[in-house]
Amino acid sequence: TQLLEQSPQFLSIQEGENLTVYCNSSSVFSSLQWYRQEPGEGPVLLVTVVTGGEVKKLKRLTFQFGDARKDSSLHITAAQPGDTGLYLCAGAGSSNTGKLIFGQGTTLQVKP
Partner 1 sequence: NAGVTQTPKFQVLKTGQSMTLQCAQDMNHEYMSWYRQDPGMGLRLIHYSVGAGITDQGEVPNGYNVSRSTTEDFPLRLLSAAPSQTSVYFCASSYSRQGARSTDTQYFGPGTRLTVL
Give residues in contact with partner 1 (CB under 8 A): 4, 6, 9, 30-31, 33, 40-45, 48, 50, 88, 90, 92-105
The CB-of-81 to partner 1 minimum distance in angstroms stands at: 23
Residue nearer to partner 1 on the CB measure, 1 or 14: 1
Residue nearer to partner 1 on the CB measure, 13 or 50: 50
Q: Kindly state the helix (H) or strand (E) to which residue 23 belongs, with its residue range.
A: strand 19-24
The CB-of-85 to partner 1 minimum distance in angstroms stands at: 14
Strand partners, 80: none
Residue nearer to partner 1 on the CB measure, 17 or 41: 41
The CB-of-16 to partner 1 minimum distance in angstroms stands at: 28
Strand partners, 13: 110
The CB-of-46 to partner 1 minimum distance in angstroms stands at: 10
Can you say how many angstroms the Cα of residue 77 is from the centroid of all Cα atoms in its chain?
14
Could you tell me the sign of the dihedral formed by the alpha carbons of 79, 83, 88, 89, in that order? negative
Reduced to 3 states (helix: H, G, I; strand: E, B; else coil), residue 75 is strand
Residue nearer to partner 1 on the CB measure, 14 or 95: 95
Could you tell me the sign of the dihedral formed by the alpha carbons of 89, 64, 10, 43, in that order? negative
